[in-house]
Chains A and B, each alone.
Chain A
Amino acid sequence: MEAGDLDATLATLWRVESPRVVARLVRLVGDLDTAEELAQDAFVAAIEKWRHEGVPGNPAGWLNTTARFLAVDRIRRRDTKRHKYRLVAATTPRSTELDIGQIVDGDLADDLLGLIFMSCHPILSPDARSALTLKLVCGLTTGEVARAFLAPEATIAQRVVRAKRTLAAADIRFELPGPAERPARLAAVREVVYLVFNEGYSATSGDSWVRPELCSEALRLGRMLASLTPDDTETLGLLALIELQASRLTARVGPQGDPVLLMDQDRTRWDRLLIQRGLALIEQIHRLRGTVGPYALQAAIAACHARAATAADTDWPRIAALYDGLVQITSSPVVELNRAVAIGRAFGPQAGLDVVRPLLDHPAMRGYHLLPAVAGDLSCGAGNHEEARQYFLSSAALTANTQQRRTMQRRAADCATHHAGST
Protein backbone atom coordinates (compact mmCIF):
# COMPACT_ATOMS: atom_id res chain seq x y z
CA MET A 1 0.00 0.00 0.00
CA GLU A 2 1.29 3.47 -0.88
CA ALA A 3 1.78 6.01 1.89
CA GLY A 4 -0.69 8.42 0.27
CA ASP A 5 -3.41 5.78 0.18
CA LEU A 6 -2.84 4.92 3.81
CA ASP A 7 -2.98 8.58 4.86
CA ALA A 8 -6.25 9.03 2.99
CA THR A 9 -7.70 5.87 4.51
CA LEU A 10 -6.72 6.97 7.99
CA ALA A 11 -8.13 10.47 7.44
CA THR A 12 -11.46 8.92 6.45
CA LEU A 13 -11.35 6.50 9.37
CA TRP A 14 -10.63 9.40 11.72
CA ARG A 15 -13.69 11.19 10.42
CA VAL A 16 -15.92 8.10 10.73
CA GLU A 17 -14.49 6.34 13.78
CA SER A 18 -12.83 8.93 16.03
CA PRO A 19 -16.12 10.21 17.54
CA ARG A 20 -17.01 6.66 18.62
CA VAL A 21 -13.49 5.85 19.75
CA VAL A 22 -13.24 9.08 21.75
CA ALA A 23 -16.74 8.61 23.21
CA ARG A 24 -15.89 5.11 24.44
CA LEU A 25 -12.57 6.30 25.81
CA VAL A 26 -14.07 9.25 27.68
CA ARG A 27 -16.38 6.89 29.50
CA LEU A 28 -13.41 4.72 30.49
CA VAL A 29 -10.90 7.40 31.47
CA GLY A 30 -13.23 10.27 32.40
CA ASP A 31 -11.55 13.29 30.81
CA LEU A 32 -11.47 14.60 27.26
CA ASP A 33 -7.76 15.30 27.07
CA THR A 34 -6.68 11.76 27.95
CA ALA A 35 -9.40 10.28 25.73
CA GLU A 36 -8.31 12.30 22.71
CA GLU A 37 -4.66 11.54 23.34
CA LEU A 38 -5.38 7.79 23.56
CA ALA A 39 -7.47 7.93 20.39
CA GLN A 40 -4.56 9.57 18.59
CA ASP A 41 -2.22 6.91 19.97
CA ALA A 42 -4.48 4.22 18.55
CA PHE A 43 -4.35 5.86 15.11
CA VAL A 44 -0.57 6.22 15.32
CA ALA A 45 -0.34 2.51 16.17
CA ALA A 46 -2.52 1.83 13.12
CA ILE A 47 -0.20 3.79 10.82
CA GLU A 48 2.81 1.82 12.03
CA LYS A 49 1.16 -1.55 11.78
CA TRP A 50 -0.79 -1.03 8.57
CA ARG A 51 2.15 0.45 6.68
CA HIS A 52 3.75 -2.98 6.78
CA GLU A 53 0.78 -5.29 6.94
CA GLY A 54 -1.86 -3.40 4.99
CA VAL A 55 -5.26 -2.26 6.24
CA PRO A 56 -7.14 -5.09 7.98
CA GLY A 57 -10.56 -6.21 6.82
CA ASN A 58 -12.22 -4.50 9.76
CA PRO A 59 -10.14 -1.38 10.46
CA ALA A 60 -12.83 0.16 12.68
CA GLY A 61 -12.84 -2.92 14.88
CA TRP A 62 -9.06 -2.88 15.10
CA LEU A 63 -9.00 0.79 16.11
CA ASN A 64 -11.64 0.31 18.79
CA THR A 65 -9.92 -2.73 20.27
CA THR A 66 -6.54 -1.02 20.29
CA ALA A 67 -7.95 2.14 21.86
CA ARG A 68 -9.64 0.09 24.57
CA PHE A 69 -6.42 -1.78 25.24
CA LEU A 70 -4.49 1.49 25.54
CA ALA A 71 -7.11 2.88 27.93
CA VAL A 72 -7.03 -0.16 30.18
CA ASP A 73 -3.25 0.03 30.24
CA ARG A 74 -3.38 3.72 31.18
CA ILE A 75 -5.90 3.12 33.97
CA ARG A 76 -3.77 0.29 35.38
CA ARG A 77 -0.68 2.45 35.50
CA ARG A 78 -2.63 5.30 37.04
CA ASP A 79 -3.99 3.00 39.74
CA THR A 80 -0.59 1.50 40.48
CA LYS A 81 0.76 5.00 40.96
CA ARG A 82 -2.07 5.88 43.30
CA HIS A 83 -1.53 2.67 45.20
CA LYS A 84 2.15 3.53 45.73
CA TYR A 85 1.27 7.02 46.98
CA ARG A 86 -1.09 5.42 49.42
CA LEU A 87 1.59 3.10 50.79
CA VAL A 88 3.92 6.05 51.26
CA ALA A 89 1.19 7.94 53.04
CA ALA A 90 0.52 4.82 55.15
CA THR A 91 -3.22 5.09 54.72
CA THR A 92 -5.39 2.03 54.75
CA PRO A 93 -5.35 0.68 51.22
CA ARG A 94 -8.83 0.55 49.83
CA SER A 95 -9.76 -1.72 47.04
CA THR A 96 -9.55 0.90 44.31
CA GLU A 97 -7.60 -1.11 41.83
CA LEU A 98 -9.69 -1.38 38.74
CA ASP A 99 -10.84 -4.85 37.93
CA ILE A 100 -10.30 -4.81 34.21
CA GLY A 101 -12.66 -7.72 33.80
CA GLN A 102 -15.40 -5.50 35.15
CA ILE A 103 -15.12 -3.10 32.25
CA VAL A 104 -17.98 -3.98 29.98
CA ASP A 105 -18.64 -2.04 26.86
CA GLY A 106 -21.56 0.23 27.60
CA ASP A 107 -24.14 1.19 25.05
CA LEU A 108 -22.54 3.22 22.26
CA ALA A 109 -25.54 5.56 22.26
CA ASP A 110 -24.88 6.44 25.90
CA ASP A 111 -21.20 6.99 25.22
CA LEU A 112 -21.89 9.29 22.27
CA LEU A 113 -24.53 11.21 24.17
CA GLY A 114 -22.13 11.64 27.10
CA LEU A 115 -19.48 12.99 24.73
CA ILE A 116 -21.96 15.43 23.20
CA PHE A 117 -23.05 16.65 26.63
CA MET A 118 -19.45 17.20 27.60
CA SER A 119 -18.40 19.12 24.51
CA CYS A 120 -21.60 21.21 24.63
CA HIS A 121 -21.31 21.87 28.36
CA PRO A 122 -23.07 25.11 29.37
CA ILE A 123 -20.02 26.40 31.25
CA LEU A 124 -18.35 26.85 27.86
CA SER A 125 -19.06 29.79 25.55
CA PRO A 126 -21.10 28.97 22.44
CA ASP A 127 -17.97 29.48 20.28
CA ALA A 128 -15.95 27.06 22.37
CA ARG A 129 -18.80 24.56 22.38
CA SER A 130 -19.10 24.68 18.58
CA ALA A 131 -15.37 24.23 17.98
CA LEU A 132 -15.05 21.38 20.48
CA THR A 133 -18.16 19.61 19.18
CA LEU A 134 -17.17 19.81 15.52
CA LYS A 135 -13.78 18.43 16.43
CA LEU A 136 -14.79 15.64 18.82
CA VAL A 137 -18.33 14.71 17.81
CA CYS A 138 -18.13 15.32 14.05
CA GLY A 139 -14.54 14.11 13.76
CA LEU A 140 -13.20 17.20 11.98
CA THR A 141 -9.53 18.13 12.30
CA THR A 142 -8.59 21.49 13.83
CA GLY A 143 -7.71 22.71 10.33
CA GLU A 144 -11.14 21.71 9.01
CA VAL A 145 -12.92 23.45 11.90
CA ALA A 146 -10.84 26.57 11.24
CA ARG A 147 -11.69 26.54 7.52
CA ALA A 148 -15.36 26.05 8.33
CA PHE A 149 -15.38 29.13 10.56
CA LEU A 150 -13.00 31.14 8.34
CA ALA A 151 -10.73 31.49 11.37
CA PRO A 152 -6.97 30.97 11.65
CA GLU A 153 -6.07 27.43 12.67
CA ALA A 154 -4.16 28.73 15.72
CA THR A 155 -7.30 30.51 16.96
CA ILE A 156 -9.35 27.33 16.82
CA ALA A 157 -6.56 25.26 18.38
CA GLN A 158 -6.39 27.78 21.23
CA ARG A 159 -10.16 27.76 21.62
CA VAL A 160 -10.20 23.97 21.90
CA VAL A 161 -7.31 23.86 24.37
CA ARG A 162 -8.96 26.52 26.53
CA ALA A 163 -12.29 24.73 26.43
CA LYS A 164 -10.74 21.46 27.56
CA ARG A 165 -8.84 23.30 30.29
CA THR A 166 -12.08 24.91 31.49
CA LEU A 167 -13.78 21.51 31.67
CA ALA A 168 -10.82 19.99 33.51
CA ALA A 169 -10.62 22.90 35.99
CA ALA A 170 -14.31 22.49 36.80
CA ASP A 171 -13.68 18.75 37.19
CA ILE A 172 -16.27 17.90 34.58
CA ARG A 173 -15.95 14.22 33.82
CA PHE A 174 -17.90 11.85 31.64
CA GLU A 175 -21.47 11.63 32.86
CA LEU A 176 -25.00 11.20 31.62
CA PRO A 177 -27.14 13.89 33.23
CA GLY A 178 -30.20 12.58 35.02
CA PRO A 179 -33.81 13.41 34.11
CA ALA A 180 -33.82 16.62 36.17
CA GLU A 181 -30.76 18.11 34.52
CA ARG A 182 -31.25 16.74 31.03
CA PRO A 183 -33.61 19.34 29.53
CA ALA A 184 -31.20 22.20 30.27
CA ARG A 185 -28.25 20.21 28.95
CA LEU A 186 -30.08 19.26 25.77
CA ALA A 187 -30.98 22.90 25.26
CA ALA A 188 -27.27 23.76 25.34
CA VAL A 189 -26.60 21.06 22.72
CA ARG A 190 -29.39 22.25 20.43
CA GLU A 191 -28.05 25.77 20.66
CA VAL A 192 -24.71 24.56 19.26
CA VAL A 193 -26.36 22.65 16.41
CA TYR A 194 -28.47 25.64 15.40
CA LEU A 195 -25.58 28.07 15.74
CA VAL A 196 -23.41 25.99 13.42
CA PHE A 197 -26.28 25.55 10.98
CA ASN A 198 -27.07 29.25 10.88
CA GLU A 199 -23.48 30.26 10.34
CA GLY A 200 -23.58 28.03 7.28
CA TYR A 201 -27.06 29.04 6.16
CA SER A 202 -26.57 32.76 6.41
CA ALA A 203 -22.90 33.51 6.82
CA THR A 204 -22.27 36.52 9.06
CA SER A 205 -18.96 37.30 7.38
CA GLY A 206 -16.95 36.46 4.32
CA ASP A 207 -17.69 36.74 0.62
CA SER A 208 -20.12 33.92 0.28
CA TRP A 209 -23.71 34.04 1.40
CA VAL A 210 -23.93 30.40 2.40
CA ARG A 211 -21.37 27.87 3.55
CA PRO A 212 -22.96 24.51 2.83
CA GLU A 213 -20.24 22.52 4.57
CA LEU A 214 -21.22 24.05 7.94
CA CYS A 215 -24.87 23.20 7.24
CA SER A 216 -23.84 19.60 6.50
CA GLU A 217 -22.01 19.35 9.81
CA ALA A 218 -24.98 20.76 11.70
CA LEU A 219 -27.29 18.30 9.95
CA ARG A 220 -24.99 15.40 10.76
CA LEU A 221 -24.94 16.50 14.38
CA GLY A 222 -28.70 17.06 14.49
CA ARG A 223 -29.40 13.66 12.94
CA MET A 224 -27.03 12.05 15.39
CA LEU A 225 -28.68 13.80 18.34
CA ALA A 226 -32.20 12.93 17.17
CA SER A 227 -31.25 9.26 16.89
CA LEU A 228 -29.82 9.37 20.42
CA THR A 229 -32.83 11.13 21.98
CA PRO A 230 -35.72 9.97 19.77
CA ASP A 231 -38.43 11.06 22.22
CA ASP A 232 -37.22 14.60 22.75
CA THR A 233 -39.69 16.63 20.72
CA GLU A 234 -37.67 19.85 20.73
CA THR A 235 -34.64 18.02 19.34
CA LEU A 236 -36.87 16.51 16.65
CA GLY A 237 -38.21 20.03 16.08
CA LEU A 238 -34.72 21.39 15.65
CA LEU A 239 -33.83 18.63 13.18
CA ALA A 240 -37.08 19.16 11.26
CA LEU A 241 -36.31 22.87 11.07
CA ILE A 242 -32.81 22.47 9.71
CA GLU A 243 -33.78 19.66 7.30
CA LEU A 244 -36.49 21.92 5.86
CA GLN A 245 -34.24 24.97 5.70
CA ALA A 246 -31.44 22.95 4.13
CA SER A 247 -33.86 21.69 1.47
CA ARG A 248 -33.66 25.21 -0.01
CA LEU A 249 -29.89 25.57 0.12
CA THR A 250 -29.15 25.32 -3.59
CA ALA A 251 -32.22 27.34 -4.54
CA ARG A 252 -31.26 30.31 -2.40
CA VAL A 253 -28.01 31.04 -4.20
CA GLY A 254 -28.18 32.77 -7.59
CA PRO A 255 -25.78 32.23 -10.50
CA GLN A 256 -23.42 34.96 -9.23
CA GLY A 257 -23.52 33.67 -5.67
CA ASP A 258 -26.13 36.30 -4.83
CA PRO A 259 -28.93 35.55 -2.38
CA VAL A 260 -32.28 34.45 -3.81
CA LEU A 261 -35.03 35.12 -1.29
CA LEU A 262 -37.61 32.51 -0.36
CA MET A 263 -40.43 34.00 -2.42
CA ASP A 264 -38.26 34.19 -5.56
CA GLN A 265 -36.79 30.70 -5.37
CA ASP A 266 -37.28 28.08 -8.04
CA ARG A 267 -39.11 25.53 -5.91
CA THR A 268 -38.38 22.67 -8.30
CA ARG A 269 -34.81 22.97 -7.00
CA TRP A 270 -35.83 22.29 -3.43
CA ASP A 271 -34.50 19.01 -2.11
CA ARG A 272 -37.49 16.67 -1.91
CA LEU A 273 -35.73 14.08 0.26
CA LEU A 274 -34.93 16.67 2.94
CA ILE A 275 -38.47 18.09 2.78
CA GLN A 276 -39.88 14.60 3.22
CA ARG A 277 -37.58 14.03 6.20
CA GLY A 278 -38.59 17.35 7.76
CA LEU A 279 -42.31 16.73 7.32
CA ALA A 280 -41.97 13.18 8.70
CA LEU A 281 -40.27 14.58 11.80
CA ILE A 282 -43.12 17.05 12.31
CA GLU A 283 -45.59 14.17 12.20
CA GLN A 284 -43.47 12.29 14.70
CA ILE A 285 -43.62 15.30 17.06
CA HIS A 286 -47.42 15.29 16.76
CA ARG A 287 -47.53 11.55 17.46
CA LEU A 288 -45.44 12.06 20.59
CA ARG A 289 -47.85 14.84 21.63
CA GLY A 290 -44.87 16.87 22.73
CA THR A 291 -45.35 20.37 24.05
CA VAL A 292 -44.70 22.67 21.18
CA GLY A 293 -41.42 24.44 21.81
CA PRO A 294 -39.67 27.16 19.80
CA TYR A 295 -37.87 24.81 17.41
CA ALA A 296 -40.96 22.72 16.72
CA LEU A 297 -42.92 25.92 16.02
CA GLN A 298 -40.27 27.24 13.68
CA ALA A 299 -40.25 23.87 11.95
CA ALA A 300 -44.02 24.10 11.55
CA ILE A 301 -43.52 27.49 9.89
CA ALA A 302 -40.82 26.12 7.59
CA ALA A 303 -43.20 23.26 6.74
CA CYS A 304 -45.84 25.77 5.54
CA HIS A 305 -43.32 27.00 2.98
CA ALA A 306 -42.25 23.48 2.06
CA ARG A 307 -45.86 22.46 1.39
CA ALA A 308 -46.57 25.43 -0.91
CA ALA A 309 -45.93 24.42 -4.53
CA THR A 310 -45.62 28.08 -5.54
CA ALA A 311 -44.91 31.22 -3.52
CA ALA A 312 -48.50 32.35 -4.14
CA ASP A 313 -49.81 29.17 -2.47
CA THR A 314 -48.18 30.05 0.87
CA ASP A 315 -50.58 29.89 3.79
CA TRP A 316 -49.53 33.25 5.29
CA PRO A 317 -52.39 33.54 7.82
CA ARG A 318 -51.30 30.17 9.28
CA ILE A 319 -47.68 31.30 9.35
CA ALA A 320 -48.69 34.55 11.07
CA ALA A 321 -50.63 32.53 13.67
CA LEU A 322 -47.63 30.27 14.28
CA TYR A 323 -45.47 33.37 14.76
CA ASP A 324 -48.00 34.71 17.28
CA GLY A 325 -47.38 31.54 19.31
CA LEU A 326 -43.63 31.74 18.83
CA VAL A 327 -43.42 35.37 19.99
CA GLN A 328 -45.29 34.43 23.14
CA ILE A 329 -42.78 31.79 24.19
CA THR A 330 -39.59 33.48 23.00
CA SER A 331 -40.41 37.21 23.39
CA SER A 332 -37.52 37.74 20.98
CA PRO A 333 -37.42 40.93 18.88
CA VAL A 334 -35.94 38.94 15.98
CA VAL A 335 -38.95 36.62 16.01
CA GLU A 336 -41.20 39.67 16.24
CA LEU A 337 -39.51 40.95 13.09
CA ASN A 338 -40.29 37.70 11.32
CA ARG A 339 -43.86 37.96 12.55
CA ALA A 340 -44.01 41.38 10.92
CA VAL A 341 -43.01 39.84 7.60
CA ALA A 342 -45.70 37.15 7.91
CA ILE A 343 -48.36 39.69 8.92
CA GLY A 344 -47.34 41.93 6.03
CA ARG A 345 -47.85 39.03 3.63
CA ALA A 346 -51.09 37.88 5.23
CA PHE A 347 -52.77 41.20 5.93
CA GLY A 348 -50.92 43.82 3.86
CA PRO A 349 -47.73 45.91 4.22
CA GLN A 350 -49.32 48.49 6.54
CA ALA A 351 -50.22 45.79 9.07
CA GLY A 352 -46.62 44.55 8.86
CA LEU A 353 -45.21 48.06 9.35
CA ASP A 354 -47.33 48.45 12.47
CA VAL A 355 -45.44 45.50 13.97
CA VAL A 356 -42.04 46.70 12.73
CA ARG A 357 -42.18 50.31 13.94
CA PRO A 358 -41.89 49.63 17.69
CA LEU A 359 -38.85 47.46 16.94
CA LEU A 360 -36.94 50.38 15.42
CA ASP A 361 -36.45 51.76 18.95
CA HIS A 362 -35.58 48.39 20.48
CA PRO A 363 -32.03 48.58 21.87
CA ALA A 364 -31.24 44.93 21.05
CA MET A 365 -32.15 45.53 17.42
CA ARG A 366 -29.80 48.44 16.91
CA GLY A 367 -27.22 47.41 14.35
CA TYR A 368 -29.27 44.42 13.14
CA HIS A 369 -29.18 44.70 9.34
CA LEU A 370 -32.31 42.64 8.72
CA LEU A 371 -34.55 45.11 10.59
CA PRO A 372 -34.16 47.96 8.06
CA ALA A 373 -34.21 45.35 5.27
CA VAL A 374 -37.69 44.22 6.35
CA ALA A 375 -38.85 47.78 7.03
CA GLY A 376 -37.63 48.73 3.54
CA ASP A 377 -39.45 45.83 1.94
CA LEU A 378 -42.74 46.65 3.69
CA SER A 379 -42.44 50.39 2.96
CA CYS A 380 -41.75 49.53 -0.66
CA GLY A 381 -44.91 47.42 -0.72
CA ALA A 382 -46.86 50.27 0.86
CA GLY A 383 -45.63 52.58 -1.91
CA ASN A 384 -43.33 54.73 0.26
CA HIS A 385 -40.29 54.43 -1.99
CA GLU A 386 -38.17 57.20 -0.53
CA GLU A 387 -38.62 55.83 2.98
CA ALA A 388 -37.85 52.34 1.67
CA ARG A 389 -34.65 53.58 0.00
CA GLN A 390 -33.39 54.98 3.29
CA TYR A 391 -34.08 51.68 5.05
CA PHE A 392 -32.24 49.67 2.39
CA LEU A 393 -29.24 51.97 2.59
CA SER A 394 -29.01 51.62 6.38
CA SER A 395 -29.26 47.85 6.00
CA ALA A 396 -26.42 47.89 3.46
CA ALA A 397 -24.30 49.93 5.90
CA LEU A 398 -24.94 47.46 8.74
CA THR A 399 -24.18 44.09 7.12
CA ALA A 400 -20.70 42.57 7.05
CA ASN A 401 -21.62 40.18 4.25
CA THR A 402 -20.65 41.33 0.76
CA GLN A 403 -23.52 39.63 -1.05
CA GLN A 404 -26.12 40.99 1.34
CA ARG A 405 -24.72 44.50 1.04
CA ARG A 406 -24.92 44.29 -2.75
CA THR A 407 -28.54 43.16 -2.62
CA MET A 408 -29.53 46.02 -0.32
CA GLN A 409 -27.75 48.58 -2.52
CA ARG A 410 -29.56 47.23 -5.56
CA ARG A 411 -32.92 47.48 -3.84
CA ALA A 412 -32.16 51.05 -2.73
CA ALA A 413 -31.33 51.92 -6.33
CA ASP A 414 -34.60 50.34 -7.52
CA CYS A 415 -36.48 52.50 -5.00
CA ALA A 416 -34.77 55.64 -6.28
CA THR A 417 -35.98 54.81 -9.81
CA HIS A 418 -39.52 54.24 -8.50
CA HIS A 419 -39.40 57.43 -6.51
CA ALA A 420 -38.15 59.46 -9.48
CA GLY A 421 -40.89 57.89 -11.61
CA SER A 422 -43.63 58.77 -9.14
CA THR A 423 -42.72 62.45 -8.79
Chain B
Amino acid sequence: MRYMVMHYETEAMENGVTPTPEQQAAIGEYMRESAMAGVLLGGEGVHPSSAGARLEIADGDVRIIDGPFAEAKELIAGFAILEVDSLAEAIEHARKFALMTGVERVDVRRVVEFSDLQ
Protein backbone atom coordinates (compact mmCIF):
# COMPACT_ATOMS: atom_id res chain seq x y z
CA MET B 1 0.00 0.00 0.00
CA ARG B 2 1.04 3.57 -0.66
CA TYR B 3 1.12 6.58 1.57
CA MET B 4 1.65 10.21 0.81
CA VAL B 5 3.75 11.84 3.49
CA MET B 6 3.32 15.61 3.39
CA HIS B 7 5.03 18.27 5.38
CA TYR B 8 3.90 21.83 5.86
CA GLU B 9 5.38 25.25 5.36
CA THR B 10 6.52 27.48 8.14
CA GLU B 11 5.95 31.20 7.99
CA ALA B 12 9.64 31.73 7.28
CA MET B 13 9.54 29.40 4.29
CA GLU B 14 6.43 31.13 2.99
CA ASN B 15 8.26 34.44 3.34
CA GLY B 16 10.92 33.15 1.00
CA VAL B 17 13.59 32.15 3.51
CA THR B 18 15.39 29.37 1.67
CA PRO B 19 16.48 26.24 3.58
CA THR B 20 19.93 26.50 5.15
CA PRO B 21 22.67 24.29 3.70
CA GLU B 22 22.23 22.09 6.81
CA GLN B 23 18.50 21.72 6.17
CA GLN B 24 19.13 20.95 2.52
CA ALA B 25 21.69 18.35 3.50
CA ALA B 26 19.24 16.82 5.98
CA ILE B 27 16.55 16.53 3.32
CA GLY B 28 19.06 14.98 0.90
CA GLU B 29 20.14 12.56 3.60
CA TYR B 30 16.53 11.59 4.28
CA MET B 31 15.85 10.96 0.59
CA ARG B 32 18.91 8.73 0.49
CA GLU B 33 17.84 6.96 3.70
CA SER B 34 14.34 6.18 2.49
CA ALA B 35 15.63 5.13 -0.93
CA MET B 36 17.97 2.71 0.85
CA ALA B 37 14.98 1.29 2.71
CA GLY B 38 13.44 0.54 -0.69
CA VAL B 39 10.22 2.39 0.15
CA LEU B 40 10.50 5.71 -1.68
CA LEU B 41 8.57 5.91 -4.94
CA GLY B 42 8.88 9.63 -5.50
CA GLY B 43 8.62 13.02 -3.91
CA GLU B 44 8.98 16.74 -4.48
CA GLY B 45 9.16 20.00 -2.60
CA VAL B 46 7.32 23.15 -3.64
CA HIS B 47 8.12 26.85 -3.69
CA PRO B 48 6.25 29.39 -1.51
CA SER B 49 2.67 30.11 -2.56
CA SER B 50 3.75 33.51 -3.93
CA ALA B 51 5.15 31.57 -6.88
CA GLY B 52 1.84 29.77 -7.44
CA ALA B 53 -1.88 30.34 -7.92
CA ARG B 54 -5.15 29.00 -6.62
CA LEU B 55 -8.25 28.13 -8.62
CA GLU B 56 -11.65 28.48 -6.99
CA ILE B 57 -14.57 26.99 -8.81
CA ALA B 58 -18.21 27.77 -8.12
CA ASP B 59 -21.10 26.87 -10.41
CA GLY B 60 -18.69 26.23 -13.26
CA ASP B 61 -17.02 29.59 -12.86
CA VAL B 62 -13.30 29.42 -12.35
CA ARG B 63 -11.69 32.22 -10.37
CA ILE B 64 -7.91 32.37 -10.45
CA ILE B 65 -6.22 33.87 -7.42
CA ASP B 66 -2.52 34.64 -7.53
CA GLY B 67 -0.34 33.67 -4.57
CA PRO B 68 0.67 34.25 -1.85
CA PHE B 69 -2.20 32.62 0.05
CA ALA B 70 -3.07 33.84 3.52
CA GLU B 71 -2.95 30.78 5.77
CA ALA B 72 0.74 29.77 5.72
CA LYS B 73 0.37 26.99 8.28
CA GLU B 74 -1.96 25.05 6.00
CA LEU B 75 0.30 25.07 2.98
CA ILE B 76 2.12 21.98 1.78
CA ALA B 77 5.88 22.36 1.44
CA GLY B 78 6.58 18.96 -0.05
CA PHE B 79 5.53 15.35 -0.27
CA ALA B 80 6.91 11.85 -0.66
CA ILE B 81 5.11 8.72 -1.87
CA LEU B 82 6.09 5.63 0.08
CA GLU B 83 5.28 1.99 -0.66
CA VAL B 84 4.98 0.21 2.68
CA ASP B 85 3.03 -2.53 4.46
CA SER B 86 0.99 -0.53 6.90
CA LEU B 87 0.14 2.87 8.29
CA ALA B 88 2.44 2.07 11.21
CA GLU B 89 5.36 1.57 8.82
CA ALA B 90 4.60 4.82 7.00
CA ILE B 91 4.53 6.59 10.37
CA GLU B 92 7.99 5.26 11.25
CA HIS B 93 9.39 6.67 8.00
CA ALA B 94 7.58 9.97 8.58
CA ARG B 95 9.05 10.07 12.06
CA LYS B 96 12.55 9.71 10.63
CA PHE B 97 11.83 12.49 8.20
CA ALA B 98 10.60 14.75 10.98
CA LEU B 99 13.57 13.99 13.23
CA MET B 100 16.13 14.47 10.47
CA THR B 101 14.74 17.65 8.94
CA GLY B 102 13.15 19.33 11.94
CA VAL B 103 9.82 20.09 10.23
CA GLU B 104 6.91 21.09 12.45
CA ARG B 105 4.08 19.01 11.04
CA VAL B 106 3.83 15.91 8.85
CA ASP B 107 0.63 14.31 7.58
CA VAL B 108 0.52 10.66 6.57
CA ARG B 109 -2.31 9.82 4.16
CA ARG B 110 -3.12 6.61 2.36
CA VAL B 111 -3.05 6.85 -1.44
CA VAL B 112 -6.14 5.54 -3.25
CA GLU B 113 -5.26 2.62 -5.47
CA PHE B 114 -7.29 0.81 -8.06
CA SER B 115 -8.03 -2.12 -5.76
CA ASP B 116 -9.63 0.27 -3.24
CA LEU B 117 -12.26 1.22 -5.79
CA GLN B 118 -13.41 -2.33 -6.43
Interface residues of A (CB under 8 A from B): 8-9, 12-13, 15-17, 19, 57-58, 60-61, 108-109, 112, 216, 219-224, 227-228, 250, 269, 271, 273, 277
Contacts and interface: CB of A to CB of B under 8 A. Distances in A.
Contacts of B33: 108
Given A12-B91, A220-B37, A273-B41, 10 more contacts: A16-B37, A108-B33, A108-B36, A220-B38, A223-B35, A223-B40, A224-B35, A224-B38, A273-B42, A277-B42
Nearest to A227: B35
B99 A58 contact: yes
Contacts of A109: 32, 36
A211 to B, nearest CB: 14
3 interchain residue pairs of minimum CB distance: A224-B38, A220-B38, A227-B35
Contacts of A9: 88
Interface in B65-115: 81, 83, 85-86, 88-89, 91-93, 95-96, 99, 113-115
B26 interface: no
Contacts, number: 61
Q: Is the interface of A mostly helix, strand, loop or mixed?
A: helix
Contacts of A227: 32, 35-36, 38
B39 interface: yes
Given A60-B96, A224-B36, A277 B89 contact: no
Contacts of A60: 92, 95-96
B42 A223 contact: no
Interface residues on B, range: 20 to 34
Given A108-B36, A219-B38, A227-B36, A269 B89 contact: no
Nearest to A213: B85
B96 A250 contact: no
Nearest to B91: A12
A12 B39 CA distance: 14
22 contacts: A8-B88, A12-B88, A13-B92, A16-B37, A16-B93, A58-B95, A60-B92, A108-B36, A109-B32, A216-B85, A219-B38, A220-B39, A222-B38, A223-B39, A224-B37, A227-B32, A227-B36, A228-B36, A250-B113, A250-B115, A273-B41, A273-B81
